[in-house]
């Protein structure tokens, strides 16, 4: 069950009682952009003697420091951060790959007898870490081809009858004319060697055990406070040289079409440099898009199974 606590200032929060709730579970700090995850996570990590693993789909790219709000060099010197400034801008990383990197990093930190703290706002990646993700690898593609070759010329009734014999419990959930789902069920059986019913039951148990590894802390603020912080942060990043960062990336030969250059804010500032957009208009657009992004993150957050929710405010 989620417990909720409102705090007026992170610096006044007594963190020890929260840490005691973790037990052997790994704390994970999540929340929308600009809510205050970095500051909170660093305070927590310092008390825990822990290192921080970032879960951010854009901070992982090399050279995208200002516009993705990467922890500063001073912050990283104080508390080591992982999975930041790591990939080339044209590299694409899936949620499953990111989750695998996180798990490997957890083991490396623990091998040094240090604590681990996960923090970030990329909700799809967080979900992959906590609940896993099903990917269609080459084995699954092979299974699909096998099933299609065997059943493509067979009528729906016979294919459905075969599924009823194979997995009557799952077949009862599918209409006999829903060939797409029937074929999918047969592909699952060929790829895994298990019936869909058995495989899904196994996955649910694995998801439950995976989720139990983490103590998820959701940070939030009232909408007005969060929007004000977003606006202030955009101004701060622009004053810190965000436009120059985009210019340097382009000068280094980073392709406009690269994955990282499609990030929020970089698109708009690239248009400024190309003379397609006025700086002031770009700034307002970045603020607006950042607010929209925060709303989507909050929607994810409301659907998550949190262990503790902290509502922050600056009063």
Give pTM, 2 decimals. 0.77
In this predicted structure, what is the pLDDT of residue 2?
Answer: 52
Instruction: Write the pLDDT tens digit of every residue in 209-262.
Output: 788 999 999 999 999 999 999 999 999 999 999 999 999 999 999 988 888 898
Residue whose pair of structure tokens reads 């998801």 in the numeric block: 207
Q: Between helices 179-192 and 138-151, what is the axis angle to 10°?
A: 130
The predicted pLDDT at position 92 comes to: 87
Token pair for residue 268? Answer: 């708009």
CB atoms inside a 10 Å sphere around CB 210: 16
- State the Cα–Cα distance between residues 282 and 47, nearest whole angstrom: 40
Domains detected in the chain? 3-133+208-312 (3.40.50.300), 138-202 (1.10.20.140)
What integer pLDDT is reported at residue 208 of this predicted model?
75
In the chain, which stretches have pLDDT less than 50? 1, 3, 6-12, 135-139
Is 284 within 8 Å of 196 (Cβ atoms)? no
């Amino acid at each position: 069950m989620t417990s909720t606590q409102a705090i007026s200032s992170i610096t006044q929060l007594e963190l020890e009682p929260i840490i005691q709730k973790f037990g052997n579970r790994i704390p994970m700090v999540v929340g929308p952009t600009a809510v205050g995850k970095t500051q909170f996570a660093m305070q927590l990590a310092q008390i825990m003697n822990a290192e921080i693993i970032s879960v951010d789909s854009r901070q992982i790219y090399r050279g995208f420091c200002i516009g993705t709000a990467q922890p500063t060099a001073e912050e990283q010197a104080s508390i080591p951060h992982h999975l930041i400034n790591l990939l080339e801008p044209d590299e694409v990383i899936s949620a499953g790959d990111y989750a695998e990197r996180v798990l490997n990093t957890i083991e490396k930190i623990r091998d040094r007898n240090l604590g681990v703290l996960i923090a970030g706002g990329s909700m799809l990646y967080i979900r992959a870490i906590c609940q896993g993700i099903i990917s269609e690898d080459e084995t699954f593609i092979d299974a699909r081809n096998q099933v299609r070759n065997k059943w493509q010329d067979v009528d729906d009734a016979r294919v459905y009858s075969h599924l009823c014999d194979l997995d009557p419990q799952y077949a009862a959930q599918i209409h006999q004319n829903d060939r797409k789902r029937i074929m999918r069920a047969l592909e699952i059986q060929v790829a895994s060697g298990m019936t869909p019913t058995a495989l899904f039951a196994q996955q649910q148990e694995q998801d439950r055990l995976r989720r139990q590894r983490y103590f998820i802390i959701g940070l939030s603020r009232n909408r007005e406070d969060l929007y004000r912080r977003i606006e202030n942060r955009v101004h701060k990043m622009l004053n810190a040289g965000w436009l120059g960062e985009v210019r340097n990336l382009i000068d280094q030969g980073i392709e406009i079409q690269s994955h990282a250059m499609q990030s929020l804010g970089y698109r708009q500032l690239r248009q400024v440099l190309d003379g397609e957009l006025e700086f002031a208009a770009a700034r307002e657009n970045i603020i607006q898009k950042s607010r929209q992004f925060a709303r989507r993150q909050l929607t994810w957050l409301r659907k998550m199974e949190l262990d503790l929710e902290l509502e922050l405010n600056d009063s």
